[in-house]
A = this chain, B = another copy of it.
Amino acid sequence: MKQIRIGLIGTGYIERCHAIAYSQVVTVFPLKAELVLDYLAEITPELAEQKAREFGFKRATGNWRDIVNDPNIDVIDICTPNFLHKEIALAAIANGKHVYSEKPLALTAADAKLMYQAAKKAGVKTLVGFNYIKNPTTQLAREIITKGEIGEVTHFYGTHNEDYLANENTPLDWHCIKEKAGLGALGDLAAHIVQMSQYLLGQEIISVIGDMQTVIQTRPNPNNLQERLAVENEDQATALVRFGNGCMGTIETSRIACGRKMGLSYVITGTKGSIIYTQERMAELKLYLHDENPARQGFKTILTGPLHPDYKNFCVSAGHGIGFNDQKTVEIRDLINGISENSTALYPDFEEGYKVSRILDAIALSCKQKRWVNVEEIE
């Protein structure tokens, strides 16, 4: 069995989720290649050593270039803050590595385009960590739509709202600084729901008009709490969108939405039925079908179970629940199996990551210029 050797470059919370997913994926899914947790980079050699031990990696380094340049590594897994994605990915691609990057792919669509084109030219495979679409429940939603069960989709309403910056005294961090994060809530959160809308509908967003605001304009300097620094990107944004087939949509995002802890949600209306979902109840899908006995119509709450995509590998009983890291585990299954077979494309790849960045940039431009923007206007 072929080996696939992972080089993980990362910090923080999402790195840990990747590590948990790597540790369980071999038990949860039959893989088509042998997964080798090989090399891990962190910001210092000491931290790298510690994390490597914790996460079961063989080798550690304080310099990510060691991993990118190591001939024994097959896949570079990028869990760094956004502003480093581009440099690491381009270096990895240049060395012929497959690349698995967290979202958003880059700070701008222009950067994302460079990355996608470099990967295409190099013939390496790529995957972007839009993990929420790997949830069995959202896979089920896509299945219902694809089979035409709710008819033709006529409206998409999607949100990704959280409240991690709702308190005005939460100190400034890299998410609020343009050159570290790029966009604010749009890049950090809306990237997910924008990509998910395209996944669910099988359609691309082609034009947008948005509105956005930095509600909390200054935050404490983390190094000197008495001082307040400017927040450089948007706290909240909303956009009207049109998909390629003419379907109308609305995208809302906020990082100051008090009470919304994991407010990724969608309401999808079709000519024959509707779907409602919120990530806070990630194992439930609400489905309405219009063609039954009208005296018995209503939204049905479907609990995800073994009859739905990928669930039964976690548990054979319905309604027993899967968690956040389980989504990541499905994603890594796709990564390993997709790389092990030449014929299989990974999804969502850098091209999709670029398309999402383009839409986010188009929304930001439409906010600035107060007009509808065709996504194609963004290179």
Contacts and interface: CB of A to CB of B under 8 A. Distances in A.
A120 B28 CA distance: 36
A242 B212 CA distance: 11
Contact of A23 (B24, B30, B216, B301): B24
Contacts of A168: 271
A274 B162 CA distance: 12
A315 B13 contact: yes
A325 interface: yes
Nearest to A241: B211
Given A155-B254, A262-B319, A323-B314, A301 B303 contact: no
A154 B213 CA distance: 9
Interface string A208-225: 011111011000000000
B272 A258 contact: yes
A207 to B, nearest CB: 9
B323 A155 contact: no
A56 B26 contact: yes
- Copies of this chain in its oligomeric complex: 4
Nearest to A259: B288
Interface residues of A, number: 94
Contacts of A368: none
B300 A261 contact: no
Interface string A130-171: 000000000000000000001000110100001110111000
Contacts of A261: 303, 305, 317-320
Contact of A287 (B27, B150, B298): B298
A259 B271 contact: no
Given A215-B271, A258-B269, A283-B321, 17 more contacts: A17-B315, A19-B27, A23-B26, A24-B325, A27-B56, A30-B54, A155-B254, A155-B257, A166-B271, A166-B290, A209-B209, A212-B248, A258-B288, A261-B305, A262-B303, A281-B284, A315-B323
Interface of A: 13, 16-17, 19-20, 22-24, 26-28, 30, 54-56, 150, 154-155, 157, 162-164, 166-168, 209-213, 215-216, 236, 238-240, 242, 246, 248, 250, 252, 254, 256-262, 269-274, 279-284, 287-290, 294-303, 305, 307-308, 314-326, 370-372
